[in-house]
Amino acid sequence: MPTAFTRAERTRISVLAVPMAAFTIALYVGNALAPTLIDEAPLALLILSPKLRWLFLASPNVDAVWYFTIPLVRATAFLTTYYLLGRWFGDRALRWAESRSGRALAPLLWIERKFHRARVPVTALFPGNITAMLAGSDRMPAPLFFGTALTSVVVRIWAVRALAGVLERPLGGVLDWISDYQLLLTVISVAAVVVWAAWSGRSGVGPEETPEEIVEDFEAHLDDPPVDPEPV
């Protein structure tokens, strides 16, 4: 008989599913509207989708305090969500992530096998959701994980900010071009995001978009075997 959630487990995954879905939707919206937001609302873009490319382009129009604070706060919330997912569900969370990502996760399986022996360098190099789940599952102390991951995030933001300062003149030209063709670029960007979301949904490897879908999909993969387990 397939494994089912206990009441406590269902409550926990339901609570985590809300920010997980919110992060996914925010990322879609931010990427789709980036050509408009870069020019008219760069702070909103950093809240929705603080990707390195958007940090680079938004740098000239954002005060340094907000430039560092917004991505750092968002990263803290994002990493906390996935750290708790790994902490509360352990290997089941990793199997779920593998089932959602298919072969796209294959390069990260090596990290899963080696994580315990190199937790700090792996976290510093890859401060994302997979590492957060691994850290939670491995019972890595929260101060150590978040101290390492957020330091890495700050260093990356600083590096992008510094690069944007060095390339201030050509970057200004790029921003002027984006402003001149803002409507066309936004239409293309929205279409690209819609096509990608549709393709990933049909292929079964895209992220879930609602809390209900996340809970249902997570429960559906409770009994999945580990992918490419480490040889004993």
188-203: pLDDT as tens digits:
999 998 888 777 665 5
Query: Structurally, how many domains does the chain consist of?
Result: 1
Q: Which domain holds residue 26?
A: 7-220
Would 225 be classed as within a structural domain? Answer: no
Cβ-contact 105, 130 below 8 angstroms: yes
In order of 113, 164, 208, 210, the CA distances from 205 in angstroms are 22, 34, 9, 15
Report how far residue 201's alpha carbon sits from residue 209's, in angstroms, rounded to the nearest whole number: 10
Where b means 16+ CB within 10 Å and e means fewer, 143-157 reads eebbebbbebbeeeb
Token duo for residue 17? 């599913």
Please give the share of the chain, as a percent, with pLDDT higher than 90: 57
**Does the pLDDT at position 41 exceed 90?**
yes
**Better-predicted residue by pLDDT, 65 or 6:** 65
Token duo for residue 202? 């049909």
Would 231 be classed as within a structural domain? Answer: no
Q: How confident is the model at residue 229 (pLDDT cuts 50, 70, 90)?
A: very low
**In the predicted model, what is the mean pLDDT of the chain?**
85
**Does the pLDDT at position 111 exceed 80?**
no
218: phi then psi, degrees, rounded to nearest 5: -60, -45
Q: How confident is the model at residue 117 (pLDDT cuts 50, 70, 90)?
A: confident
